[in-house]
Amino acid sequence: MNGKVIVITGGSSGMGAAMAKDFVAKGAKVAIFDLDEAKGQKLVEEVGGNLAYYKVNVTLKDEIREAVADVEHKFGPLTTLVNSAGVSKMVPFLKSSEELWDLTLDVNLKGTFLTCQVAIERMLEHGGGEIVNMSSLSGKKPSSWQTVYCASKFGVQGLTKSIAKEFADQNIRVNSICPGIVYTEMWEKLKYEYAKKRNIDPEKVMDHFKETIPMHRLVDMKDVLNAAEFLISDKSSYLTGQSINLVGGEWMD
């Protein structure tokens, strides 16, 4: 990954943080854009000078633009964007508030739209780049109690594919990853909501998933890192507008 300058949104936690560490270890310069300053700064202390933290709200274009300009000043031309910022809540449809709709669609979908716009403007200036959007199995498979989240992640699919088509002949590739269950901070909270939905013990939720997934295991962080690395490397040079289902056989479209 030598020579890559990568922005990872949501990079203070979960998959974003794991990608940030891994990409720096492999030679990239990485900037994380996240609201969680404490976790972001801690990661920078751990990883060192090729990682930078920016307090950016992905729903605000000016903040994104300002931070990207600073990243390019510090590390060089932006080559790669990974959108991993996201929020998720499990609530019955009739109890899903407008506030939840606005927050979820703002962070998961509008945030992806805005960061892609800012990144592509820069990538066009210096000859291309690649974008990976974290969608979800919920971007393909409907799920009760997750209507709002599914709407945002189905949206990420349409956004990714349409941008991919528009910039396919300008050396910008845009793909997505659709993971099933990755046990991150997100699931630390979600397992209580899922337990309510199924009326099971929260501590049994992950075992429940393992039973239902054809491979009988959750997504390993290594699976996410492998997929992300593949999509931002030349090994996937003829892929754009595609999504990788990291679901252990649970969904095949």
Residues annotated catalytic, as ranges? 149
Rounded Cα–Cα distance for residues 155 and 139 (Å): 7
Closest separation in Å from C-beta 75 to ligand NAD = 19
Q: Which is nearer to ligand NAD, 87 or 91 (CB)?
A: 87
Rounded Cα–Cα distance for residues 217 and 31 (Å): 31
The pattern of x and - marking residues 72 through 111 that bind ligand NAD according to CB under 6 A reads: ------------xxxxx------------------x---x
Closest separation in Å from C-beta 56 to ligand NAD = 6
Rounded Cα–Cα distance for residues 48 and 25 (Å): 10
- Which tokens go with 166? 């528009």
Q: Which is nearer to ligand NAD, 102 or 125 (CB)?
A: 102
DSSP string over 94-123: GG--HHHHHHHIIIIIIHHHHHHHHHHHHH
Q: Which is nearer to ligand NAD, 125 or 192 (CB)?
A: 192
Nearest to 225 by CA among 7, 13, 21: 21
Closest separation in Å from C-beta 95 to ligand NAD = 20
User: End-to-end alpha-carbon separation of the chain, Å?
Assistant: 30
Residue range at the interface with ligand NAD (CB under 6 A); choices 6-14, 140-148, 204-212, 226-234: 6-14
Q: Per CB under 6 A, which of residues 21..60 are in contact with ligand NAD? A: 33-36, 56-59
Q: Per CB under 6 A, which of residues 104..143 are in contact with ligand NAD? A: 107, 111, 134, 136
Give the distance from CA 134 to its chain's centroid. 3
Q: Which is nearer to ligand NAD, 164 or 178 (CB)?
A: 178
Beta bridge partners of 174: 131
Number of residues that bind ligand NAD (CB under 6 A): 31
Closest separation in Å from C-beta 228 to ligand NAD = 11
Contact flag: residue 13 with ligand NAD (CB under 6 A)? yes
Closest separation in Å from C-beta 89 to ligand NAD = 11
Three-state DSSP at 134 gives strand
Q: Which is nearer to ligand NAD, 111 or 155 (CB)?
A: 111
For 174, the enclosing helix (H) or strand (E) is strand 172-179
Q: Per CB under 6 A, which of residues 196..235 are in contact with ligand NAD? A: none
CA 63, 68, 74 angle in degrees (round to 5)? 130
DSSP string over 5-71: EEEEETTTSHHHHHHHHHHHHTT-EEEEEES-HHHHHHHHHHH-TTEEEEE--TT-HHHHHHHHHHH
Contact residues for ligand NAD, defined by CB under 6 A: 9-10, 12-16, 33-36, 56-59, 84-88, 107, 111, 134, 136, 179, 181-182, 184-187
